[in-house]
Chains A and B, each alone.
Chain A
Amino acid sequence: MLKLTDIDTYYGDLQALWGISLDVNEGEMVSLIGPNGAGKTTTLLSITGLLRPARGGITFDGHDLLKVPPDKIVDLGVSMVMEGGRVFASMTVMENLELGAYGTRARKERAETIEEVFKTFPRLKERLTQRAGTLSGGERQMLAIGRAMMSKPKLLMLDEPSFGLAPILVDSIFEMIKGINQQGVTILLVEQNVRAALELADRAYVIENGRIVGEGSGEALLSFESVRSAYLG
């Protein structure tokens, strides 16, 4: 479904990704793990079109994403939740959700989609007219994921969804992500919480210094010695 071939991405003159290749199959949940600054977020941003790789290829459902503008990539069914959620704080929960369905494909179905989102995140329904800036950290994260779901994604990419949340919330967020995956949405997850990421995912890639250094099923990586010593302590 998603295929990255040998991509190199730069920030100005600084090369952040070195020949990243990875595959995500339909219906899978795939994790990207690795230390801070390894290039996980950069990889996701390269897929969204917010960053453009200098070399390499990215295809999604047969479309060459490097030729598609960022707003149309969303229309193709690729959605991303950035670290911290980045909800529109001065706008209401409802407005945030509406904007999630901005794309032409999603806009027509937004009345039905919003009901589905409320099923996954009933809390959001209670907060509809509240400004997003007044939500708690967990609620914001739910809103961010709900907002991404409004675009009816085939592939949902999540950047550190558990970051900064209380431990009890972390588990429920992961539960919700699992639920979304079971609804048939393919998931690419970037997580600092390596154990949870590996337990949850079908497969995972390990990134270090902008390069893929390991790949395998979640279980296999969990038992992998170097991963254990580096990330699980």
Chain B
Amino acid sequence: MKKNQTLLIAFIFVIVLAVIPLFIKKDNLLTYLCMILLYISLASSWNILGGYTGQVSLGHSAFFGLGALGTRLLWFAGWNVILAMLVGGIIAIVFALLIGSPAFKLRGAYFTIGTLALGQILFATVGNIFPQISSLPVQDLQSYTLVSRYYLFLAIALLTVLVAYLIANSRLGLGMMAVREQEDAAESLGVNAFRHKLTALVISAFLAGLAGGAFAFFQIGYYPQYPFSPVWTLDSTMMAYIGGTGTILGPIIGAIFFVVLKEVLSLNLAEFHPTVFGILFILVVLFLPGGFMGFWKRIRAKQNKKRESAAELSHP
């Protein structure tokens, strides 16, 4: 596909998403779209660290949770919600910087387990400090509109995808991918592996923090511990894998697929969607590294090969 064509399609897609609330008035449909957008943000921000840089983190919910917690507290204290979200994102960055240098001493699976443990520590700690449910005050409840939440989710999803796209097509992204492929080789070529990993972690954390902020603004009542739950991490990791890690479209496809599948299954196979998703995830890890995107690329490559050989035949 030509670059211009891709951009045009993306542009049309964004326009459609932007005007949807004008036509869809059903709250539950809009809520699904909100969830898709939230998952796109989570999976895409995970992908910057896990997919492009190859640091498979299972602590993503920590950043999501910190963003949500910071935003909720400041927003309830009377701050403007956008400002509160920015601070939430910054809290996530600060945490990323704090854990960055010890965490990146760990490589491969050890990094993965370390981040998982870190995520669980925050999950338990927040549960201990904020045991009470956090509910929207009644006066705010009256002014609650779903559409404003929708646009916020849309903005953050767009920002996340845009950032991922810009990174993927930059020198920084090239360095990250070099670190993913062969850390030692990258170092010997002058790529500072640690700095690239830390940059990826900080960007990923900030975007997840913003998504957490939007979640805090969206959710009417929830336990502050909830966004820290490992479920968020596992879901976004699975989405990115199923869609295809290290690609822009992969996490988006994964997120859409996840929410749609959940809906379809809730009609037929009530509440067994984690099982179906888990099976798909295992199949992808075992047989389809690269997920849907990888699969698609392979099919395309095969078709092209066929076309080429056909062309060769027609030119004796």
Q: Is chain B in direct contact with chain A in the complex (CB below 8 A)?
A: no
> What is A's interface to B at a CB cutoff of 8 Å?
none
The chain B residues found within 8 Å of chain A, CB to CB, are none
